[in-house]
Amino acid sequence: MVIKPSEFTPNNAIAFAQIVDDIGLPKGVFNLVLGRGETVGQELAANPKVAMVSMTGSVGAGEKIMAAAAKNITKVCLELGGKAPAIVMDDADLELAVRAVVDSRVINSGQVCNCVERVYVQKGIYDRFVNRLGEALKAVQFGDPAQRDDIAMGPLINAAALERVEQKVAKALAQGARLALGGKATGGRGYFYPPTLLLDVRQDMDIVHEETFGPVLPVVAFDTLEEALAMANDSDYGLTSSIYTRDLNVAMKAIKGLKFGETYINRENFEAMQGFHAGWRKSGIGGADGRHGLNEYLQTQVVYLQA
């Protein structure tokens, strides 16, 4: 097994490698290689000695991995981007829905592929929901975790990530969205971008379709569940989705209608290890977690013995 972490986030992998070494796993079973994707990653994906490549990252990176692996017909397991919709029905528990949506967006500063990227709110609860959502986002403590221990959200990973989020918000405003909260980097050292709320958002805006990967929440109003499902499914991505309702029949209809690998009912988008984390469409190939995830790493051999 060879692990190559992102060149921007190597520390966790290094710490894990130290744990593996401490427990006495035989040398060579686990190997850690550091380097850039276009060099080390490319070599690993294209190497004929590699039996399988599993990668978590962007759609663009996944395309490069597939192209490199194709030369040797190497199996790939790709967990890629997402544009997770959250549907909030009129009968939803308002406090629960607001708390879950906020938790699902500010975790890791919004840099989580399976967490809420767009919110669809039924018109009967829309005003109350966006007011509470704005209050909750405004209350989020964010800053430098090296200087404060009471924060819920830190910085973005690098300057490129900050620039990407700024550009996507600017484009949304140019296309007619209204900035209700945030929307401006704090400046100074670090790549800090505050929780940002966009209202008056339409389905045809780029912010609804392109992965933001930052602490930005665009909110779209809808009339019927059928309308919400159609808008939620109108995406190149298909990783996770969620719905907030007290009506089990509505929840079951949403489960059937949502074309996503995972659907969460009345809770934030955090998967369990015993589940199966797998995306549809451009969100990936294969999956991880649970029995099905383990099977991704196995090779089936069938034996016929004539006794």
Confidence of residue 274 (pLDDT cuts 50, 70, 90): confident
pLDDT in tens, 162-198: 999 999 999 999 999 999 998 888 877 889 999 999 9
pLDDT in tens, 33-66: 998 888 898 889 899 999 899 888 888 888 898 9
Amino acid at 250: V
Q: 225-233 and 248-257 are packed helices; what angle lies between their axes, rounded to 10 degrees?
A: 30
Whether pLDDT at 272 is above 80: no
Query: For the domain 84-265, what is the CATH superfamily, name and number?
Result: Aldehyde Dehydrogenase; Chain A, domain 2 (3.40.309.10)
Distance of CA 146 to the CA centre of its chain: 25
Residues 110 and 215 sit within 8 Å (Cβ to Cβ): yes
Burial string for 133-146 (b: 16+ CB within 10 Å, else e) reads bbebbeebebbeee
Measure the CA–CA gap between 182 and 193, rounded to whole angstroms.
8
Measure the CA–CA gap between 279 and 269, rounded to whole angstroms.
13
Residues 236 and 209 sit within 8 Å (Cβ to Cβ): yes
- Give me the pLDDT at residue 252, please: 95
pLDDT average, residue stretch 243-270: 92
**Segments of the chain assigned to CATH 3.40.605.10:** 2-80+276-295
Report the percent of the chain where pLDDT is more than 90.
51
Q: 94-106 and 126-138 are packed helices; what angle lies between their axes, rounded to 10 degrees?
A: 40
SS (H, E, C) the chain: CEECCCCCCCHHHHHHHHHHHHCCCCECCEEECCCCHHHHHHHHHHCCCCCEEEEECCHHHHHHHHHHHHCCCCEEEEECCCCEEEEECCCCCHHHHHHHHHHHHHHHHHCCCCCEEEEEEECCCHHHHHHHHHHHHHCCCECCCCCCCCCCECCCCCHHHHHHHHHHHHHHHHCCCEEEECCCCCCCCCCCCCCEEEECCCCCCHHHHCCCCCCEEEEEEECCHHHHHHHHHCCCEECEEEEECCCHHHHHHHHHHCCCCEEEECCCCCCCCCCCECCEECCEECCECHHHHHHCCCCCCCCCCCC
> Which residues are registered as beta bridge partners of 198?
179, 218
Topology adopted by domain 2-80+276-295? Aldehyde Dehydrogenase; Chain A, domain 1 (3.40.605)
> pTM for the whole thing?
0.87
Dihedral pair phi/psi, residue 135, rounded to 5°: -65, -45
Measure the CA–CA gap between 244 and 223, rounded to whole angstroms.
15
The set of catalytic residues is: 79
- Give me the pLDDT at residue 81, please: 86
> Which residues are registered as beta bridge partners of 122?
222
Would you put residue 190 in left (φ > 0), alpha (ψ -120 to 50) or beta?
A: left
pLDDT average, residue stretch 1-5: 89
Alpha-carbon distance values, 44 to 2, 4, 33, 187 (Å) = 9, 9, 10, 38
Largest pairwise CA distance in the chain: 76
Amino acid at 18: Q
